[in-house]
Every structure is written in structure tokens, then in C-alpha cells.
Amino acid sequence: MQHTVIDRVDQVAEDVVSLVLRRAADPLAPWEPGAHIDLTLPNWLTRSYSLCGDPADREHYRVAVRHDPLSRGGSEYIHHYLRPGRALDVSPPRNHFPFRPAPGYLFLAGGIGITPLLPMLAAAVAADVPASLVYVGRSRATMPFTEELLSRFGDRVRLVATGTDGRPDLAALAAGLAPDSLVYCCGPAPMLTAAQAAFPAARLHTERFRPAVRTFAPNTPFTAVCTRSGQTVPVGADQSLLDALRRYGHQVPSGCREGVCGSCELTVLSGTPEHRDDIGAPEGRMYACVSRASSAELHLDV
């Protein structure tokens, strides 16, 4: 865990604040575009947000938070109670949306989905690689960082307010894509679905902030064998692995509880996980909030 103090809270769009966090002790852990951190909020909730500041700045992290009317307490708390001067613990950065080298980029952002893409665009421009951003929102007032984007990146940025401009023509963007360019897309589910239909899968990189709607086989019970503690933890069909482990006293971190943030990652030593996350668990890892087991036992490094 890293200790920070809130340096600034700025309203950057309707219902969106940016938080600048200043290191309270050691220099902050390094990060690369696409990374996110977990904020441990004073109301005991943990929430993940993409870093959208400057990766070279080891003194500060910047994130942006949209107030979600269906908030389960995270964005609600941040908007109403977090103020400059407050201490806040944050996790080291994790990156499930890595920025790959390419001869050109098209960035496609929807609303708060601009956050991971902003440092990617900055990195591409700094490296003198052709890059453009199509940034979509209901109206300009709802879209964070528009002034900053226009002043830093000029005509590489195209703002599309769907209320007045309609939706961008993704087929035309796909047709105009330079050879070997990559497309990075972050936004609401309909935008990701439209991008998946328009761009070749091999060139499209997406990040979800809500899980895709999918259907799984009915839950079955299994046993988690915790090799470090020596405990055997039964996981019922009606509970998650995360909840079962916590019930037995294992302090597994968590954030989204929806399989999108990666906070609850565990190392699997043997057994067969049934992956239900939207991250794409690396070999030998699983996300305990949603994933289960298709073998009777899972041996975990817990």
C-alpha cells in the first residue's frame, strides 16, 4: 500500500471530479499508460480508477471519477466527502490494458473512458508516432479534460457530442485506418460492442469498466486449499471464492467485485479455475470475486 494525501479535487466535467494525490512518503510506484490504482476509501470501500496524469511524475497520481447514480458507495463518497488534505492509501499500479508499440494509433474514448487513453495519446505524441483521438460524450459539458486535450494535442483530437453531432462513423474510421495501426477503445458497453464490430480483433484493444453480460453454467461447490495457511475452505454454490476466503480470515483485497479491476487476483498452484472475469486472467492466476473452479479442488497460494 502507498500513502498519499489529496492535493487537489477539481470538477472537470458535469458529475466528474479529478483527484490529484501527492505522495506522503516514498516516491510513488512507477506506472505505464493503461494502468490503474485502487483507492482505499475511509468508508472501507476499495475502488479502482485509471491513472490519467503524467507517468514521469513520481510525486503525484491523477485519477478522475464520475459520480454514478447507481453508486454502491464509492463514487458517492468520493464526490461528497473527499477534500484536499485528506490522507488516502492507494495500491501500487496494475495494468491490464497495456499500451503496445505500433506505427500509429486511433484512440476511441467514451466519457470517463478517456482516462486510460489520455496518457497513451500523450506517449504516442511524445514519441512522434501518428495518433488521433475520437472522444465521444453526450455533450461537451459531460466530457472531462476536453480543454486540456485540445490545448495539448490540437487537431489530433476530435470531440463528438452525440446530442448534437450523432455517433461517429466507426466503419469510416476503420476504412481509414493506416496499415498496422492499433485501436485502443475504452468506454461504455455499446461503444465497445460497436468497436468490436467495426475493427479487426487483432488490432483492437479494449478495456471495460463494467462486465460483459454473459451466461455461465450453474455454480457448483468446490474446495479451496490454502497452501500457505494450511486451511481447507469450502466454497458453497451460493457464495464467491472471495467471500469464502474472507470468512476464513484471509484478507484478500477486492474492488469492483465484478471481475474487471483485478484487485482480488490469486495465484493458482493446481486445479482448474473456471474464469469468469473480463480481464483475461494470466496463466496460473484467477480473480476470486467472480471466478470459480471446474475441478473439485483448487490449490491456492494463500
* Contacting positions for ligand FES (CB under 6 A): 254-257, 259-264, 277, 287, 289
Beta carbon nearer to ligand FES, 133 or 279: 279
Using the minimum distance from each CB to ligand FES, give the nearer residue, 50 or 263. 263
Minimal distance, residue 156 CB to ligand FES, in Å: 33
| Nearest residue (CB) to ligand FES, 131 versus 186 | 186
Cross-strand partners of 137: 161
Q: Spell out where the chain has E strands.
A: 2-13, 16-23, 36-40, 46-50, 60-66, 87-90, 105-110, 131-137, 157-161, 182-186, 204-207, 222-226, 232-235, 265-270, 273-274, 285-287, 292-293, 297-300
Instruction: Tell which phi-psi region holds residue 271, choosing left (phi > 0), alpha (psi between -120 and 50) or beta.
Output: left
> At its nearest, how many Å lie between ligand FES and the CB of residue 103?
33
User: Toward ligand FES, which CB reaches closer, 142 or 254?
Assistant: 254
Strand partners, 201: none
Which residue's CB atom is positioned nearest to ligand FES?
A: 289
Grid cell for residue 240: 464467491
CB of 162 to ligand FES, least distance (A): 29
CB of residue 121 to ligand FES, shortest distance in Å? 26
Helices (H) and strands (E) in the chain, counts: 7, 18
The least distance separating ligand FES from the CB of residue 260, rounded to whole angstroms, comes to: 6
Q: Which of 130, 137, 132, 149 is nearest to 16 (CA)?
A: 137
Least Å distance, CB 64 to ligand FES, is 19
CA distances from 146 to 105, 137, 156, 291 (A): 19, 11, 12, 38
Question: Are the CB atoms for 261 and 46 separated by under 8 Å?
Answer: no
| Distance in Å, CB of 276 to ligand FES, minimum | 10
The Cα 4–Cα 90 span in angstroms is 7
Strand-pair partners of 8? 20
- The minimum distance between CB 291 and ligand FES, in angstroms, equals 8
> Considering beta carbons, is residue 122 or 281 the nearer one to ligand FES?
281
Nearer of residues 92 and 200 to ligand FES, judged by Cβ: 92
φ, ψ dihedrals at 95, nearest 5°: -135, 110
Closer residue to ligand FES in complex, CB, 62/257: 257
Q: Which is nearer to ligand FES, 132 or 240 (CB)?
A: 240
